[in-house]
Amino acid sequence: MDISYKYHRTTVREPVSFIGVGLHTGQLTTVCLKPSVDKKGIFFVRTDVPAGQGVIDARWYNVSNTTLSTNLSNEFGVSIATVEHLMSALIACGIDNLRIEVDGPEIPVMDGSAEVFVEIIRNAGKSYLKAAKQGIWIEKPIVVNDGDKFAMLMPHSVPRVSMCIDFPNTVIGSQCYTVTLNDESYFEEIAYARTFGFAEQVDAMKEKGLALGGSLINAVLVDGKKILNPEGLRVENEFVRHKILDVIGDMSLAGAPIIGHYYAYKAGHNLNQRLLKKLFSEASAWTKTSLEEGKERFANHDDLYDGDFIQKTLNVVPIKNIAS
């Protein structure tokens, strides 16, 4: 994650457009990323609805649906679907301010990963603004559960994401991965990991109006112990890496990079949304401050929140190998 550059907020240098099909709606939309200097943060503008009703801030309190993707809505009921992969690429590229115009209901899925978005954002270039870049520093652990699933945030001096998934009796099986986000790691380890689905669920999803744009060119399709894509996987544990890509996109809806350790077992968009809601309902759990200031204050916290801490304090079993 590009948080190293002199602690200033950024936007894109030039407008840049792309076109593609939405994973769930199957609709073709055109997206234009435009520089935004005055309005803080990243926001979507639906250009196909009456003027004045199309602005949707990319913030956690606008999340309206988390079934298979993260969708946002505004007070007029105008929504934008499947924002997580584009948001993931934007925050990883260090973009803070952006106007995202889109002429339909869903962000295109492209190849199912964030790789194309990274390329587009890099082509647009980056422009540094006067305002200081801020981070949201985790002050104390926050956890949410759903049966055996959990997601938590812990204090840490740099952004880190750890995730385990478990799909027994499939080619996925149990996969764990951890990534400490720095200038290179997102691009080297996460950006190219594609979304995935299960062959046996395709008909039911299409009946519900989901995955209408899904195909072997924008998703990995799993059929039990087999992968149906002729090209196979891009990397052996592509599945868990994609889940981390999703987490980074979902957590970006905090409105600023979260500096802490996100740590989860089988979490998805719904738990991620609940985690942000819980975080922001506890004022003592976080501090929003400039990256420069936070870096000094939080430099020596990391050893406190290791595997023992997780087990004792939160009563969840630490995930093997990625506890600290």
**Per-position DSSP letters for 92-144, written without gaps between them:** HTT---EEEEESSSB-B-TTSSSHHHHHHHHHH-EEEEEEEPEEEEE-S-EEE
CB of 187 to Zn ion, least distance (A): 17
Tokens linked to 113: 């990963």
Residue tagged active-site, from 85, 261, 269, 301 = 269
Residue pointed to by tokens 């099986």: 173
Identify which of residues 2 and 246 has a Cβ nearer to Zn ion in the complex. Answer: 246
| Binding span for Zn ion by CB under 5 A among 36-44, 230-238, 245-253, 258-266 | 245-253
- In the complex with Zn ion, the residue whose CB is nearer, 62 or 195, is 195
270 binds Zn ion (CB under 5 A): no
Site residues (CB under 5 A) for Zn ion, limited to 10-69: none
User: By the 8 A CB rule, do 102 and 43 touch?
Assistant: no
- Between the CA atoms of 7, 8, 11 and 13, what dihedral angle is there, to the nearest 10 degrees? -100
Task: Considering the complex, state which of residue 110 and residue 285 has its C-beta at the smaller distance from Zn ion.
Answer: 110
Q: Give the binding range for Zn ion (CB under 5 A) out of 21-29, 56-64, 166-174, 194-202.
A: 194-202
Is-catalytic flag, 24? no
Stretch 105-144 residues interacting with Zn ion (CB under 5 A) = none
Identify which of residues 40 and 234 has a Cβ nearer to Zn ion in the complex: 234
Task: Determine the length of the chain.
Answer: 324
Output 95 or 247, the one with its CB closest to Zn ion.
Answer: 247
User: What distance in Å separates the CA atoms of residue 61 and residue 99, rounded to the nearest whole number?
Assistant: 18
Amino acid at 100: I
DSSP at 285: G
The residue count for binding Zn ion (CB under 5 A) is: 2
Residue 31 CB, nearest distance to Zn ion (Å)?
Answer: 17
Q: How far apart (Å, rounded) are the C-alpha atoms in residues 127 and 42?
A: 14
CB atoms within 10 A of CB 235: 10
Spatial separation of the C-alpha atoms in residues 168 and 121, rounded to whole Å:
37
Please identify which residue in 213, 246, 268, 305 interacts with Zn ion, judged by CB under 5 A. 246
The single residue among 62, 162, 195, 273 that binds Zn ion, judged by CB under 5 A, is: 195
Shortest distance in whole angstroms from residue 308 CB to Zn ion: 32
71 forms part of the interface with Zn ion (CB under 5 A): no
Residues that bind Zn ion (CB under 5 A): 195, 246
